[in-house]
Copies of this chain bind each other. A is one copy, B any other.
Amino acid sequence: MNLSTDLLAAPAGLQTFIPPQRCLLGPGPSEIDPRVLTAAGRPTIGYLDPAFVTMMEELKSLLRYAFQTANPVTFAASGPGSVGMEMCFVNLVEPGDKVIVCRNGVFGGRMIENVTRAGGIAVVVEDQWGQPVSPEKLQAALAANPDAAVVAFVHAETSTGVASDAATLCALAAQAGCLSIVDCVTSLAGIPVAVDAWGADAVYSGSQKCLSCVPGLAPITFSARAIERVKARKLPVRSWFMDLNLILGYWGETTRTYHHTAPNNSLFALHESLRLLAEEGLAASWARHRRLHEMLAEGLAPLGIEFLVEPAYRLPQLNALKVPEGADEAAVRRRLLVDFSIEIGAGLGPLAGKIWRIGLMGYSAREESVRRVLAALRELLAR
């Protein structure tokens, strides 16, 4: 190749991308505290730098607080929440293992995919979209499948806005001798997550929901029982990137062996967002999400907008709302974005076109955001 004459041309005239200023009230990412954005933009350092290693240890202790666990194996996986999910399944499921998956929305369905791709056999406990996972159905499935190795469910279903009773479901799994895998992507910092009190074995979350960090990291924690299971595997983990045995060489307590290049700047940001959470306090963060949800609900009632989910199971941070009679679901969402620069979410799967999803997560859970979306909806629905 003649370097001077034969190169394919560069695209011409591209400008720096300046994202529009959005009010982010969808299912994630949420808005990011300016202090967290500043952290993401600090000059980077090496992933073996002693200063970075000190930061990693702080990050682990902050994550233990957020998850309410003493698990030594608690860190941030280098990928989105989907990597957190896959890391749990690919490490804890061996080919032929039976896994009971409770499905009441999109993410339970994704868990089934993860089980089969890890070589496991999924036994599915079905609940309606908009309903929580039924402990009775799980109990029946455990009784019918005494050889099950793992139980998996979603604590806070982002697709429907439903909270399930994680404490009860984890206890049922443990009583049956199963490990539990719990998706806390949308719940962490928004409603109580108590990994140790639940006795949960593998729990993952995402950075871009109630933690209000840059998207692309998956906080994750494993119990001692889970780590034993990984170490006792008969076959190697099917993923090199997600193999806990290797990752712990870098994130573990005593060694810092290179596995992959850590996403340093995102980790700077996560450290800061968790530090802000610790400063506010978990109980205060949960109360704030609850309070803002109530403020939203009060404002929606006069507009005739009803919730999909019964009050007892409603997630304050993810409000699934029935589109009122006569309103054009997609048009209202588009006008919110174009005219008001407010992002809200659409329904997925069987709920597409039928619901809106208004997230009030982390830094987006502020009074001004609620006032802003209510005012915009009032105007748009009156047209």
Contacts and interface: CB of A to CB of B under 8 A. Distances in A.
Nearest to A235: B117
Nearest to A82: B260
A216 interface: yes
A3 interface: yes
A216 B215 contact: no
Contacts of A261: 28-29, 80-82, 206, 208, 215-216
Interface string A223-249: 000000000000011111100000000
Given A16-B39, A65-B9, A343 B49 contact: yes
B37 A42 contact: yes
Nearest to A15: B275
Taken together, the copies of this chain in the complex come to: 2
A194 B6 CA distance: 10
A41 interface: yes
Contacts of A69: 8
Given A16-B272, A58-B11, A45 B86 contact: no
Interface string A75-117: 0001111110010001000000000000000000010011011
Contacts of A46: 22, 24, 26, 29, 343
A177 interface: no
A24 B3 contact: no
A11 B44 contact: no
A241 B19 contact: no
A28 B32 CA distance: 27
B216 A263 contact: yes
A335 to B, nearest CB: 13
Interface stretch (A132-140, A277-285, A308-316): A277-285
Interface residues of A, number: 100
User: Among A32, A43, A266, which residue has the most Cβ atoms of chain B within 10 A?
Assistant: A43
A40 interface: yes
A128 interface: no
A90 B117 CA distance: 11
A7 interface: yes
B41 A263 contact: no
A4 interface: yes
A265 interface: yes
A266 to B, nearest CB: 6
A8 B68 CA distance: 6
B65 A19 contact: no
A202 to B, nearest CB: 16
A294 B237 CA distance: 44
Contact of A79 (B7, B79, B240, B258): B79
20 contacts: A1-B194, A1-B197, A4-B283, A6-B197, A8-B69, A11-B58, A15-B275, A19-B43, A19-B55, A20-B45, A22-B43, A26-B46, A28-B261, A29-B261, A40-B40, A46-B343, A90-B239, A117-B240, A214-B266, A265-B269
Interface of A: 1, 3-4, 6-11, 14-22, 24, 26, 28-29, 31-32, 35, 37-47, 49-52, 55, 58, 61-62, 64-65, 68-70, 78-83, 86, 90, 110, 113-114, 116-118, 192, 194, 196-197, 206, 208, 214-216, 236-241, 258-266, 268-269, 271-272, 275, 278, 281-283, 286, 337, 343, 348
